[in-house]
Amino acid sequence: MSLNTDADKAGESGWRETIRIVVHALILAMIVRIFFYQPFNIPSGSMKSTLLVGDYLFVSKLSYGYSRYSFPWGLIPFKGRIFSGEPKRGDVVVFKLPRDNSTDFIKRIIGLPGDEIAVRGGILHINGQAVPKVRKGDFISPEEDRPIPRFEETLPNGVKYYVLDSVQNGQFDNVGPYKVPAGHYFMMGDNRDNSTDSREQSPRYGVGYVPYENLVGRAEIIFFSAAVDDPNAFRLTSPWTWPTDIRWGRIFNLVR
């Protein structure tokens, strides 16, 4: 047998091994994405200052179990959820928009099934009780043309988070009451004057109440963040801009 033939066989074996490793890696990545953690990016400012445009985060599908919307394009059609877990008030959740069951939205769970939700003078009320709202300075960002008043809200279960309130007597500052139906959740964005959420009940333009089945998963951690709405937006092909474009301080922040 010639040395050239041995070299050819060794080369073929090497390529086959490489292909096998790549295929196994792709299968593993798909399993992780479908059943455990799915990456999402933030395209709008409705969750500022908790989440910013250009944040990339992992969403845990284990948190609430699985529905048809846990799988790509809803390819496995079934009703309800399996291995289900109960969402908690204050969770930041990715869900399928009820009016089309395909668009991914991310908001915070404010109302649980059976709750009554209202907003009076910009103050959130849950079951007739005002949610404490304390001024905590301003949100200042290169993407904003002015500082935005920031407040800390504390839900009845003790969950604390920041909300932005940029407009006095805004469109949704006096709305409700809303009675959350069984098996549904009431969602609100943290950027209260710039969020289309459950306060908007229009079947054509709103979010309305979100069925339990539509929940995709709970937002867990930011794994990357870049100032994409800056005039000098982040470019993967321009590594010399990375030190200034990447928001290093947001990477590996937990979503709370």
Q: Which CATH superfamily is domain 36-250 in?
A: Umud Fragment, subunit A (2.10.109.10)
What's the confidence (pLDDT) of residue 141?
79
**Chain segment 144-189, per-residue pLDDT in tens:** 778 899 999 999 999 999 999 988 878 899 998 999 999 999 999 9
pLDDT at position 105 is: 95
Residue 202 is among the residues annotated as catalytic for this protein: no
Q: What is the pLDDT of residue 87?
A: 94
Q: What is the pTM of this model?
A: 0.83
pLDDT under 70: residue ranges of the chain = 1-15, 17-18, 20-36, 73-76, 78, 80, 142, 229-242
pLDDT at 121: 93
Q: Identify whether 177 is preceded by a cis peptide bond (ω within 30 of 0).
A: yes
Distance CA 196, CA 209 (A): 12
Q: What pLDDT sits at residue 85?
A: 81
Active-site annotation holds for 67: no
Phi-psi region of 158 (alpha: psi -120 to 50; beta: other; left: phi over 0): left
Residue 209's pLDDT is: 97
Would you list the DSSP string of the chain? Answer: --HHHHHHHHHHHHHHHHHHHHHHHHHHHHHHHHHTEEEEE--SSTTTTTS-TTEEEEEESTTT-B-GGGSGGG-S--SS-BS-----TT-EEEEE-TTTS-SEEEEEEEE-TT-EEEEETTEEEETTEEPPEEEEEEE--TT-SS-EEEEEEE-TTS-EEEEE--STT-TTSSEEEEEPPTTEEEEE-SBTTS--STT---TTT---PEEGGGEEEEEEEEEEEB-TTSSS---TT-GGGHHHHB-GGGTT-B--
Choose the catalytic residue: 49, 107, 198, 225: 107
pLDDT digit string, tens, across residues 7-17: 455 455 666 76
Distance, CA of 83 to CA of 65 (rounded, Å)? 5
Q: Out of 46, 70, 198, 225, which one is annotated catalytic?
A: 46
